[in-house]
Amino acid sequence: MIEVVDFALRHAWLVPLLPALAFVCIVFLTRPWPKLSSLISIAAMLSSFVLAASIALGVYTNPDFIEKPLVYSLRWFGMEGFSVNVGVMIDPTSAMMLFMVTLVASLIQIYSTGYMEGDPQYSVFFSYLSLFAASMLGLVISSNLLQMFVMWELVGLCSYLLIGFYTFKISAREAAKKAFITTRIGDFGMLLGLLFLQIKFGTLDLVTLAERVPLFEQFGVSLGLLTVIAILVFIGPIGKSGQFPLHVWLPDAMEGPTPVSALIHAATMVVAGVYLVGRTLFLYMEVPGAMEVVAFTGAFTALFAATIALTQREIKRILAYSTVSQLGYMMLALGVGSLSAGMFHLWTHAFFKALMFLGAGSVLHALHDKADVWKMGGLIKKMPITGWTFVIGGLAIAGIPPFAGFWSKDEILTVTLEYARHGHGFAYILFAMAAFTAFLTAFYMWRMIFLAFFGREKPENHPHESPVNMTLPLVVLAILAAVGGLMGTPWANFWSKWIHFGPVHHGEPAVGLMILSVVLALLGIGLAYFLYYKDEEKRMVRNLSERYQTVYQLLYHKYYIDELYLWINRTFVDGSAKLLYYFDIYVVDGLVNGLAGTARISGKGLRYLQTGRLQTYALVFFLAILVITVVLAFGPPTSAGITGGVNR
């Protein structure tokens, strides 16, 4: 075992390389045998999981990794005074991420063999999945920010390909473009931030930056400039992790196949932004203003997305806004300086959110893509494995103990309250927002569960349980959603010991806060029970929606943010485009064409002088001599002539 662990630590680069090789093999070798593509992809992913598990074992049995990460790198390219390395960095945070990503990706790929059965693009799908996983794993182990940015962009490309996988659907193509363009806005800001870091600190290496940034004044960087750099870098995670105001792409990403939704929302693309902020927390800790921006962005996004989810009807769209909200929780934790709480919630969220997305896929598979929860009902009787595993996911995300979500969400509430008590009074507002979001989360998630899985069965539906290759991953994820948070209990101290930034402070478990968290969750579930299960006719819900129609429409249409962006695009972007069009036509082209036209007209005029007759040339010559003589005789005196006269 020791030899295996040592091999894994020294060859961590194999973790992303194996799925990358699987991508190449699928593209070039499996066209005649589509089924072979899934075997290659799953074999590579499981091999990466074994390596990742060995790395995690090696890291978490060696306390030296807490303070000193394992880093090895090679020179990529360079010039005089500048070089870029490509390397691997292994520490408790990256080890946790490698284990989680490979585990969830492996389960999703196994699930996909059933979900994508019979699809004509079966091999293409698994090639994209392999490249997607390889990109995320490459991002996780990157030792410098430039290498991370390259992987970051590759993750974005893969998301574009997978969201728009159903190319015959206009909505899928539009959603893919929307995701790609929206995240590029964030990436542009992030790239500017990275350029500033390179120029001012002379490196993008994470370990070196962590040493130099606290000494920013010695590098000629003012606090104001450092604040700008930190916020520019944060714009990238705002786009990638679907934070307000660049959240609009994430719900539309549901147009891709459901396994893609699970992979994007649970283990890869959207958590990449959270991971980047965690990796660069040393930068934000030096800038209180930037920390406040991160915290407020996270808290507002969590509450904002939760209110939208209250009125959505499609099962995957509800889960999508839930993802946006939970990512806001993670950003809030990082914004108050707790890497441990942010990464802990990322860990638990990966399990229960992957479980619920795959459960939603099982439902859509059984109902032939009918996604409206109001048109479902009683599914748990016909789909018991899908239904009860989905219930476990609902208990976890609602924050019911001892399920995973309770421990991580309670930890975020705890660190936010502690942050407020230690001289940051504004954080009490953040705590109130987070607590109210916890109540809303329990309500809208169980609204969905009661409507879809309980209540009256719809006679037009003929659901059936999914095959074992789809239900087995659900069972595994349900177990993880149930017990995956126990390592983060206040008494275990696992996360605060191994994954933290700065000194570790161990306090007594906040029992009162735990009780508050549970009460909020139970109130949310209870309200959903009375409105959507007990009242079978849904009279109260209909009365409320009619009485508060304006509020309902505002939430259902997502605060009209998409419409606002379209209006801005049509008013300003299209207007600017028209202005530039006319400038190009009448100024740029006019200048070029005008010069050409002048030359052409002059040429036509001069052509008449070329008659080929000697008399004409003699006449022109005589007239030219005459004009010159007249000018010299009657023109104004030159300065030379005047000077000569005076001298005489």
Residue-wise pLDDT for 436-463, tens only, equals: 999 999 999 999 999 999 978 887 777 8
Identify the sign of the CA torsion 268, 270, 271, 273: positive
* pLDDT at residue 115 greater than cutoff 60: yes
Read off the pLDDT of each residue in 89-115 and give the average, rounded to a whole number.
93
Contacts of 377 (CB under 8 A, 6+ apart): 451, 452, 454, 455, 456, 457, 458, 461
Which segment of 122-126, 464-468, 496-500 scores lowest on mean pLDDT?
A: 496-500
> What pTM was estimated for this model as a whole?
0.88
Share of the chain above pLDDT 90, in %: 57
Measured distance CA(462)–CA(458) in Å, rounded: 8
Q: Which helix (H) or strand (E) holds 78?
A: strand 70-79
Measured distance CA(643)–CA(648) in Å, rounded: 9
Measured distance CA(38)–CA(33) in Å, rounded: 10
Distances (CA, A) of 143 to 81, 101, 231, 458: 20, 18, 21, 54
Confidence band of 645 (pLDDT split at 50, 70, 90): very low
Confidence band of 507 (pLDDT split at 50, 70, 90): very low
* pLDDT at residue 252 greater than cutoff 80: yes
pLDDT for position 436: 97
pLDDT for position 642: 45
pLDDT: which is higher, 533 or 442:
442
